[in-house]
Amino acid sequence: MISQEKMPSLVYFVRAKREDGDDVLAAKAEKVFLETGLKVQIDDKSFVALKIHFGEQGNTGYIKPQWLKNTIHQLKKKTSRVFLTDSNTLYVGKRSNSVEHLHLAWNHGFTPENVRAPIIIADGLKGGEEEEVEINLKRVKTAKIGSVFLNSDVLVCLTHFTGHGLSGFGGAIKNLGMGCASRAGKLDQHSEVHPWVNPKYCTDCGVCFDHCPAEALIHKEDKAFIVEDKCIGCGECLVVCNAGAVKFRWDSDIVRVQEKISEYAYSLWKSLKGNALCLNFLLKITKDCDCMAKDEPAIVEDIGILGSLDPVAIDQASVDLVLEKSGKDILKEGYDVDWSVQLKHGVKIGLGSRDYEIIEL
């Protein structure tokens, strides 16, 4: 009897850079999308959710709507029920409620005229419209997901690959796990991370006070001080501190956060029963994610666009390409975070495989 070894997951890849221009990038994204084969699973009754991050106000790294026009056109050949979506943020900002979230998306070019598809915010007006998915895994027993995602038939996860302060990098797994969670789900994933302020570096500038959604910061001896009982662990203070004074207890806390993210991603992937794919855009890869309300420089040259039916494989391939291009672990250099945790845990719980075969188009 011949043993059947598990085949590596397929990851499709096309080299691309921003200088290619919008039309060329749209054609390249379409090519990757079609190669995945997901389109054959869509019929005229299917609700197709395109999960995307519209970019915080002032951010310029987000996936541009012009790059998606061909892919959306292909989907609309199968069904008219195609829409773009994201969930509201835990932190205070222009994406913390649906009204301002929509206005911001329009300001960034995601208008009906440009994308030929409506926008639906997945967890309602203030982030409270959710459904629970029981998974009973190591960190998460019941995941709280934006209701729109769970009521969709097909999901296309569109991810701008970046570095990230809590997970080392933000890829498809984080876009699914954190990005599709309701506000309560985001809080659930962040809640065991507690930052602290090193008074040696704090200048008491007050920026962190303006960005803390929980009002967990106080003045203590002319320095910022975080009240742990009030802190929700969202990480906003870390990324806005220009003095580098805000620190996290990275070790076990960061492991828990990444494992929770993977488990939340699994809850959605399981619910969709394979009717999902991921496209990762490795263009203008920045140190921080698109939640940063400012322009940031790229930390590595543009690489291209990847597509896969396996969120773990596409993230592993993305990491490998970034490290190869930079010639070092540029992701760990950003925040000294072991980014492999989310990948290892994703394999352990059945979210996907780190073994992949890359097919360059």
Identify the CATH number of the domain in which residue 342 sits.
3.40.50.11440
pLDDT band at 93; cut points 50, 70, 90: confident
Average pLDDT over residues 332-345: 94
134-185 pLDDT, tens per residue?
Answer: 999 999 999 999 999 999 999 999 999 999 988 999 999 999 999 999 988 9
Q: Give how far Cα 257 sits from Cα of 179, 187, 261, Å.
A: 14, 11, 6
Tell me if 167 sits within 8 A of 174, measured CB to CB. yes
Mean of pLDDT over the chain: 93
Least confident of 6-15, 71-80, 194-203, 342-351: 194-203
Average pLDDT over residues 102-119: 97
Indicate whether 1 pLDDT > 50: no
pLDDT of residue 327: 96
Residue 184 lies in a domain: yes
Residue 302 lies in a domain: yes
Does 133 lie in the same domain as 76? Answer: yes
What residues make up the domain containing 211?
Answer: 195-248
Does 164 lie in the same domain as 273? Answer: yes
Does 289 lie in the same domain as 166? Answer: yes
Q: Which of 254, 250, 278, 255 is nearest to 265 (CA)?
A: 278
Does 267 lie in the same domain as 299? Answer: yes
| Residue % of the chain over a pLDDT of 90 | 79
Does 81 lie in the same domain as 25? Answer: yes
pLDDT of residue 85: 98
Q: Which residues pair with 197 in a beta bridge?
A: 246
pLDDT band at 251; cut points 50, 70, 90: very low
* Total count of domains within the chain: 2
Indicate whether 236 pLDDT > 80: no
Does 129 lie in the same domain as 208? Answer: no
Q: Which of 325, 319, 307, 309 is nearest to 344 (CA)?
A: 319
Indicate whether 249 pLDDT > 80: no
pLDDT of residue 254: 85
Average pLDDT over residues 235-255: 76
Between strands 142-146 and 195-197, the pairing is unpaired
Q: What is the pTM assigned to this prediction?
A: 0.86
Indicate whether 195 pLDDT > 70: yes
Residue 1 lies in a domain: no
Mention every residue, 6+ apart, whose C-beta is less than 8 A from residue 174.
Answer: 159, 164, 167, 261, 265, 289, 342
Does 84 lie in the same domain as 61? Answer: yes
Residue 227 lies in a domain: yes
Does 234 lie in the same domain as 275? Answer: no
Indicate whether 44 pLDDT > 60: yes
Q: How is residue 120 annotated by DSSP? A: E
Does 87 lie in the same domain as 143? Answer: yes
Indicate whether 275 pLDDT > 60: yes
For 90-115, b/e burial (b = at least 16 CB within 10 A) is bbbbbbbbbeebbebbeebebeeebb
